[in-house]
């Protein structure tokens, strides 16, 4: 087993049942509080929604996301409160769990809320 | 007359939504749609009697008039980068939202001459580690006259 094998298996799995999501890193105007997108990357991901906090459509819910490092590129590992846009709905990334094998990033687990 | 509680809360949404720089306002939600920032979220909060109702001298079992206190929570949500700018943004929008509410002629009229609007302070909840989302909760008390006639459908 090598890191490359693990990544290839994850890529294949996500390609099978995943969906495209967009990760966004934001910048804030210190004078007005306006938010702009400073960097973003669109990548395939597997996600599962659970624990709805509100019964209203589009309301706050928790989302578990798995991303392969293959498509992260220069965006790198997401950080706290980067945003993830799934089906047009933005959520905040609240927990980030990068998994390494032999010192190489092979998978990123995220817990998002929004 | 209209239900004063609803009139105040509805007007609060309109007033906060008109504040310069506020991009979204919603009521009784955990967050605004699209997570727009800066945003205001208004929670209806508690309506309690301000003074114990006086017993009706004529022996009525229902108080036809009471002095009520409505305590909505007004949450201002902003996004920050490192934290320092978030503090100044919270202050900026605290000032703007407070000024808008405390000087709004419709809100002032809705509490009548026997009531009033009182700012009771604010609190900034402790942020999570490395978080970029910040909020400040404003506590404002609206004192107004409650009458049975206001409840008419």
Per-residue pLDDT reduced to its tens digit, A19-36:
999 999 999 999 999 999
Question: How many other CB atoms are there within 10 angstroms of residue A20's CB atom?
Answer: 12
Q: Which of A26, A33, A60 sits opposite B30 (nearest CB)?
A: A60
* pLDDT for res B59: 61
DSSP letter for B6, please: H
CA distance B120 to chain A (A): 25
Q: Strand, helix or coil at B31? A: coil
| Total residue count of chain B as it appears in this document | 153
DSSP letter for B33, please: G
Q: Are A26 and B132 in contact (CB < 8 Å)?
A: yes
Q: Strand, helix or coil at B99? A: helix
Long-range CB contact pairs, B35-38, < 8 A, 24+: B35/A83, B35/A90, B35/A91, B35/A92, B35/A114, B36/A35, B37/A33, B37/A35, B37/B77, B37/B78, B37/B79, B38/A32, B38/A33, B38/B76, B38/B77, B38/B78, B38/B79, B38/B89, B38/B93
The whole-chain average pLDDT of chain B stands at 89
What is the ipTM, given to two decimal places? 0.82
In this prediction, residues B93-122 reach a mean pLDDT of 94
Tell me which chain A residues have a C-beta less than 8 angstroms from the C-beta of B89. 28, 30, 33
* pLDDT for res B84: 74
Q: Strand, helix or coil at B151? A: helix
In this prediction, residues B10-31 reach a mean pLDDT of 96
Work out how many CB contacts closer than 8 A connect A with B: 62
Measure the CA–CA gap between A43 and A23, rounded to whole angstroms: 8
Which strands make up the sheet holding B133-147, listed edge to edge? B24-27, B39-49, B65-79, B133-147, B116-123
Name which of B37, B48, B26, B144 is nearest B89 in CA terms: B37
Give the residue from B20, B38, B79, B128 with the most A CB atoms within 10 Å of its CB, the best one to mutate. B79
Confidence grade of residue B2 (pLDDT, cut at 50, 70, 90): confident
Span B83-106, pLDDT tens digits:
678 899 999 999 999 999 999 999
Residues of B with CB under 8 A from a CB of A: 21, 23, 29-31, 33-38, 78-81, 85-86, 88-89, 92-93, 128-133
Tell me which chain B residues have a C-beta less than 8 angstroms from the C-beta of A22. none
Give the residue from A24, A33, A80, A83 with the most B CB atoms within 10 Å of its CB, the best one to mutate. A33
CA distance B18 to chain A (A): 15
Span B22-80, pLDDT tens digits:
999 999 988 898 899 999 999 999 999 886 655 555 666 666 778 899 999 999 999 98
* pLDDT for res A104: 96
Percent of residues in chain B assigned helix, strand, coil, to nearest 5: 30, 35, 35
Measure the CA–CA gap between B52 and B73, rounded to whole angstroms: 23
The CA-atom distances, in angstroms, between A19 and each of A22, A46, A66 are: 10, 6, 11
Confidence grade of residue B147 (pLDDT, cut at 50, 70, 90): confident
pLDDT per residue of chain A (114 residues) written in tens, 0 to 9:
899 999 999 999 999 989 999 999 999 999 999 999 999 999 999 999 876 655 554 567 889 999 999 999 999 999 999 999 999 999 999 999 999 999 999 999 999 998
Q: Nearest residue of B to residue A88 by CA position?
A: B34
Measure the CA–CA gap between B130 and A108, rounded to whole angstroms: 18
Q: Which of B35, B89, B129 sits opposite A33 (nearest CB)?
A: B89
CA distance A1 to chain B (A): 35
């Amino acid at each position: 087993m090598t890191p490359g094998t693990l990544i290839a298996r994850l890529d294949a799995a996500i390609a099978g049942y995943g969906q495209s999501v967009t990760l966004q890193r934001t910048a804030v105007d210190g004078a007005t509080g306006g938010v702009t997108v400073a960097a973003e990357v669109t990548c395939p991901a597997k996600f599962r929604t659970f624990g709805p906090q509100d019964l209203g459509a589009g309301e706050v819910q928790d989302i578990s996301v798995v991303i392969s490092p293959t498509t992260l590129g220069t965006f790198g590992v997401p950080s706290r409160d980067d945003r993830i846009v799934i089906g047009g709905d933005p959520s905040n990334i609240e927990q980030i769990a990068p998994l390494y094998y032999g010192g190489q990033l092979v998978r990123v687990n995220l817990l998002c809320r929004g | 007359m209209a239900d004063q509680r609803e009139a105040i809360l509805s007007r609060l949404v309109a007033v906060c939504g008109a504040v310069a720089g506020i991009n979204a306002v919603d009521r009784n939600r955990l967050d605004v749609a699209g997570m727009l920032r800066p945003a205001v979220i208004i929670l209806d909060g508690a309506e309690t009697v301000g003074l114990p109702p006086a017993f009706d001298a004529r022996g009525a079992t229902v108080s036809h008039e009471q002095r009520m206190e409505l305590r909505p929570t007004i949450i201002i949500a902003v996004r920050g980068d490192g934290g320092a700018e978030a503090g100044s943004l919270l202050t900026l929008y605290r000032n703007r939202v407070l000024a808008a509410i405390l000087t709004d002629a419709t809100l002032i009229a809705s509490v009548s001459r026997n009531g009033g609007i009182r700012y009771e302070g604010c609190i900034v909840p402790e942020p999570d580690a490395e978080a970029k989302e910040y909020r400040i909760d404003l506590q404002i008390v609206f004192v107004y006259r409650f009458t049975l006639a206001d409840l008419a459908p």
